[in-house]
Amino acid sequence: MSNKHFLPLDPGKLVTNCLRAITYEYEFMSLLEKEKVIYNNQFDRSKVALISGGGSGHEPGFYGLVGSGMLSAVAQGDIFASPNYKNVKAAEKVCHELGESVKWAGCIFIITNYTGDNLYFGMAAQDLIARYGSEKIRLIRVTDDVAVKQDANSLVGRRTLAGIAIVSKLMGAASQSGYNIDEIFEFGQRVNDSTASVNAGLDHVHISGHSMDSDFGKLGKTQLEIGLGIHNEPGVQKLDYIPRNEELVSTLLDMIFNKEDEGRGFFKYSKGDKLVLLINNLGGVPIIEEKNILYTTLETLKEKYNIVPARIYTGNFVGSFNAQIFTITLFNASTATTKTFTTDKIFDFLDEHTNAICWPNTAFRSKNSIKNDRIITDFVGYDDEVPNAIIEGPIDLKIDPKVLENIVRTAAQRVIEKEPDLTDWDTKMGDGDCGYGLRTGAELILQKLDEDRIAASGSILEVLHIVLNVIKDDMGGTLGAIIFIFMKSVINKVEELLREDPNQNISQLFATSLPFGLKTLYGYTKARDGHRTVMDVLIPFVNCFHETQDIDKAIQVAYNAAEGTRNLRPKLGRATYVGGLDDQIVFPPDPGAYGIYEILSALAL
């Protein structure tokens, strides 16, 4: 968890500047600056107004829920602090100001169930009830958190997590459709009662501008917490290890579904009910991990509960700064239905387009469980149509199988042994993947030597084709592409020359073919000798062998070139972006160049 932040000169303006900024981005949003109220300036004031809010620091909540068919306005407090009742009343008033010809439909406060929000929204509600009557002002608490057991929360009830996004979407669509305040309020209660959420996190949040000493409940490097709140409230369970997604998601879903848990059992579900799944990223979970959590949740729902959701949403709904926390929220559309709001109507509301910025306007084909027929597992690619052609018979190149295996095995082992250095050098001067990529390829080649006995025939070309496939399919990265293009063009040239004269000398064949490979490679990369890349080894090695056909001499040249990259300033590649190099004279060796040398060195056996 990082404790570094981008702050304005006056950190006290963090919230106000944020709210000002979004009005520049979205023309339908306006700001009451002193009151920290964001409202939809296109809101139809003849409809029921829906107002929420809470402390800032939960972006894109709460302003991200404002828009057509969602919230009319929100009152934003300071960081993790409730808005005061005057601000809440201002949010209501800006949605209420209208001409005499428009009949006011009333206002519903949709609040997060935390003490401050209850008190201040409650104060505002009582003031407004005194002014307009109880039939025009309603208040609904979103209580979707199932982590805390009933006996532990009997006084205040369940907390609010990401379920407020679903409640806001459905009540907002109902308002936009013209339903009255009683119908929308009853519907909102049903939606809330049919929604369950639980959080899991790798650490508590660090608040912008606060010292690390102020971080409450910071977790250790190997700890994970289940059932956290959205502003550093501790969870209900702390683990001293970080489980894999499969175990973690299973645990979280059990907290939602387990009907035998007398302390919970909040979520009602029967076979055949239509569910909505929402994965909320509180701000610090990388998107690739967020999508993995989604996939694992879908797989677990299907395998353990025979459930395939009818709607799926992921992203940032209710955040908490840089929190490495996610929420699983399930909404049962079947149990939320009323006489007025059928299951089909609920899905129409979910699918209705909104300009609220945190709601994904995803298109779905039906209102039933999602049938994903878009994952193709049996596609036949070009490389799968026929095996790579391998030169056989009189024009094959063969040597003693033991010698061939020794060369290949030694090259792979040397790369694996050098990987820690290569990774270290690439971490300092690049993106850190070079050593790992080479090691991955080397390990696969060793596996093929041991399991497939690829060198048993003594065929040089057969081994080269297999190595080429490993590079193509499993190495990746810039280095993998460079090696592939070079090797493929060399092999193509060797096979061409063998077809012309099957009896050519091996050294002469490669002395002729290696420069051809280098020339081909020049057409795909601007890297040359002296640019601090793999070419700093490849070019002198090829040139030396072409001129001398002396492999020992060429390998020595390659070694000198690899070591020489310590004195080369980067001119191409990611290393050129590394700062603080202006006064540096000696650098770590180029990892790609050194990796190639380690491979070539095995040819001296």
Reference 28, options 47, 42, 38, 16; nearest CA is 42
- Residue of 231, 465, 531, 546 with catalytic role: 231
- Per-residue model confidence (pLDDT) at position 152: 55
353 part of the active site: no
Token digits of residue 191: 């939606």
* CA atoms within 13 A of residue 291's CA, in its CB half-sphere: 2
d(CA 566, CA 590): 7
The distance from CA 484 to its chain's CA centroid, rounded to whole angstroms, is 30
Encode pLDDT of 18-42 as tens digits.
999 999 999 999 999 999 999 999 9
The CA-atom distances, in angstroms, between 574 and each of 18, 84, 169, 532, 570 are 34, 50, 44, 11, 9
- Per-residue model confidence (pLDDT) at position 427: 85
- Per-residue model confidence (pLDDT) at position 578: 47
Token digits of residue 145: 């958190």
Beta-bridge partners for 332: 275
The distance from CA 306 to its chain's CA centroid, rounded to whole angstroms, is 26
d(CA 490, CA 512): 9
Residues of the chain with pLDDT under 50: 99-100, 214, 388-394, 574-580
* CA atoms within 13 A of residue 476's CA, in its CB half-sphere: 6
The amino acid that residue 587 corresponds to is F
Residues contacting 387, CB < 8 A, separation 6+: none
The CA-atom distances, in angstroms, between 182 and each of 131, 138, 303 are 19, 9, 40
CB 482 within 8 A of CB 455: no
Q: What structural domains does the chain harbor?
A: 11-351 (3.40.50.10440), 390-604 (1.25.40.340)
What pTM value is reported for the model? 0.78
- Per-residue model confidence (pLDDT) at position 255: 95
